[in-house]
A and B are shown apart, each in its own frame.
Chain A
Amino acid sequence: MHIPDGFLDPPVFAAAYALALAFLIPALRGVQRSLGDRQLPLLSVLTAGVFAAQMLNFPILPGISGHLVGGTLIAIFLGPYAAIFSMTIILLIQALLFGDGGLTALGANILNMGIIAAGTYYVYVGLRRIMGSERGAVASVFAVAWLSVFLGALACGLEIGLSSAFQPLGGAAVTVPLMGFWHAFIALGEGLITAAIFTYVSRTRPDMLALAKIGPLGGRPLGEMD
């Protein structure tokens, strides 16, 4: 879902940069305030792991592939601000070193794959209030990971749809449903992988999931498997 250079018009990528910065600045402050000795190693491992996982495209339908985005995974472990911080580092290195995602589109990519995923953390908190069991926790993780990619794809569809490269083809009225349609399938991979990692860690190292979360709502740890 990495938008390359040339897909977005300057007003669109400038607005996306402004919106991304509006979330990135409080996220950096939150990390500065709340990142502790126990969270830093986990955050580093998760961020590097998500980078590696993003190289592993899985086929999802004939002629189409997807890969883990990972924003939801990080948000569930360490909170929404941690997710924005990590995804920004990944996307910046991908754009600068590997040409994966354009530099002009970096703000939009941070928005679609970092900030929206971080926002779905609150859906997860809400779902966990209703479903407290272990099975409920895994179902919530799957649903929220799916949602993060689906919503990110709709945002991406809107951004490209508002830009001139996609205008003669019907603009957002075409790109938003198309992005949503393909990513409804691709996002199943996000749900499966995120739920599998969550299940594995909650059985082997539940303390890793009980660390204080970084983000608004006080960074209160959300007790897992309680």
Chain B
Amino acid sequence: MERWTKKTLTAIVLLTALLLPLASAFPDGLEKVAESLGVKQMAPFWNAPLPDYALPLVENPYLSALLAGLTGFVLVLLATWGLGRALRRKKSQTPAG
């Protein structure tokens, strides 16, 4: 891994850990519109294991959100890298047969 990649990943994690307690709990634009029109959120069609970016069993809300966020961060990183690699490998196999 290039040094820049490592440094940037570290910086993102540190910055997120620092800014997470300051994150606003206000509704976002779409939630605000739904709220102002009196449209209620329904039960989701799919029950996600970590709803609202919180780890179950972790009582401290900051730690819970941070650990959930880190889990997602690592998953997104691996998924992008892995899927990118897999797509490229598929391509390099085709001409040789």
Contacts and interface: CB of A to CB of B under 8 A. Distances in A.
Interface in A24-40: 28, 31-33, 35, 40
Contact of A57 (B23, B49, B71): B23
B33 A178 contact: yes
A100 interface: yes
Q: Which of A41, A48, A64, A95 has the most CB of B within 10 A?
A: A48
B73 interface: yes
B60 interface: no
Of the four ranges (under 10, 10 to 19, 20 to 34, 35 or more), the interface on chain A belongs to: 35 or more
Nearest to B83: A89
A84 B48 CA distance: 23
A24 to B, nearest CB: 12
Contacts of B58: none
Interface residues of B, number: 61
Contacts of A49: 8, 12
B39 A40 contact: no
A48 B39 contact: no
A166 B37 contact: yes
A14 interface: no
Given A48-B73, A63-B26, A89-B80, A4 B46 contact: no
Contacts of B25: 57, 65
A61 to B, nearest CB: 9
A86 B59 CA distance: 32
B27 A99 contact: no
A44 B29 contact: no
A67 interface: yes
A192 interface: no
Interface of A: 1-7, 28, 31-33, 35, 40-45, 47-49, 51-53, 55-59, 63-67, 85-86, 89-90, 93-100, 102-104, 153, 156-157, 160, 165-166, 169, 174-175, 178-179, 182-183, 186, 205, 208
